[in-house]
DNA sequence: TATTGTTATACTCTATAACTATA
DNA sequence: TATAGTTATAGAGTATAACAATA
């Protein structure tokens, strides 16, 4: 059931990212970088629980689209400080409401109280 | 949240199949075949919403393990009637309670009423 | 002409291994 | 000796294309 629900959601949500040349993970990186500021690539990999080479591909994609930039990392010349650009913030802000709308469509059929219930139950499953 | 919950569940459930040389999809085929009797490979593909070549790989795997058999399909000599074997039913019945136990562990933290609530809400999302 | 099963092939996604430059 | 980033490569998993047999 979880599989089906998730599949259904991602079918309606992934095209939103794909339209901008991104995938869900890359959007997640933008959100992460806008919240936490500059991060090293390994920090991104750890946060997303993926290999650092996998993270690098996404960083490459985002940089090619000028949505993030690699900067020198203060205090460690091996590392890069990955920062979201103004263009990156803009794209992220464009996506957010579209994403919220898709989520609302996905949740059509549940009233406000039921949505909260679902979220509460799921979050307990995820964190327990 | 759905993604995380599903990931968490599959981490605890996939090893159950892997221990028997199967994956979730192949177990799903066994369940399907035990419920609906003989099916053509395209029927399996349609039911699981995968390509028929992808379904074929799973049918190959299950047949190599002698959990299913390909028979002539009455009335269409192009098709194969895929049937679950006695060994297949046995493996399926061995897996079912282990799976249920894993599901219960996954749902630890929710009481009976909350589990029902979650299932009800998810099923409405899936079918709506 | 269309469909079933099959084969061969290609593509996507992800990770591992090895390299470099730093630490 | 270990770590950050990179490169090249390999492995799943899935799909597409083409084929033979049959409809």
User: What is the reported pLDDT for B128?
Assistant: 74
User: What is the reported pLDDT for A71?
Assistant: 98
Confidence of residue A100 (pLDDT cuts 50, 70, 90): very high
**Which candidate, A64, A55, A66, places its Cα nearest to that of A32?**
A55
Tell me the angle at which helices B24-36 and B52-64 cross, rounded to the nearest 10 degrees. 90
Confidence of residue A70 (pLDDT cuts 50, 70, 90): very high
> Which residue from B4, B110, B122 is facing A5, i.e. has the nearest CB?
B122
Average pLDDT over residues A71-88: 98
Report chain B residues whose CB lies below 8 A from the CB of A107.
Answer: 125
User: What is the reported pLDDT for A128?
Assistant: 74
User: What is the reported pLDDT for A127?
Assistant: 85
Residue A8 is classified by DSSP as H
Tell me the angle at which helices B41-48 and B52-64 cross, rounded to the nearest 10 degrees. 110
3-state secondary structure of A65: coil
Residues of chain B below pLDDT 50? none
Average pLDDT over residues A49-67: 98
- List C-alpha distances in Å: A115 to A16, A38, B9, B104, B118: 22, 34, 21, 23, 11
Which positions on strand D lie below 7 Å from a protein C-beta?
Answer: 3-8, 13-17, 21-23
A109 φ, ψ to 5°? 110, -20
User: What is the reported pLDDT for B54?
Assistant: 98
- Considering Cα of B26, then B40, then B84, then B105, what sign does the dihedral take? positive
Is B94 near chain A, with CB under 8 Å? no
- Considering Cα of B56, then B62, then B66, then B69, what sign does the dihedral take? negative
User: What is the reported pLDDT for A95?
Assistant: 98
Q: What is the pTM of this model?
A: 0.92
Q: Cβ(A102)–Cβ(A15) under 8 Å?
A: no
């Amino acid at each position: 059931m979880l599989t089906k629900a998730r599949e259904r959601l991602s079918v309606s949500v992934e095209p939103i990212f794909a339209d901008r040349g991104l995938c869900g993970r890359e959007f997640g990186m933008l959100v992460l970088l806008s919240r936490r500021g500059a991060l090293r690539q390994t920090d991104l990999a750890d946060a997303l629980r993926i290999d650092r080479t996998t993270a690098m591909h996404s960083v490459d994609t985002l940089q090619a689209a000028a949505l993030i930039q690699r900067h020198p990392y203060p205090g460690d010349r091996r590392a890069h400080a990955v920062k979201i650009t103004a263009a990156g913030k803009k794209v992220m802000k464009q996506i957010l409401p579209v994403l919220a709308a898709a989520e609302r469509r996905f949740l059509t059929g549940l009233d406000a109280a039921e949505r909260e219930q679902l979220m509460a139950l799921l979050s307990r499953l995820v964190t327990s």
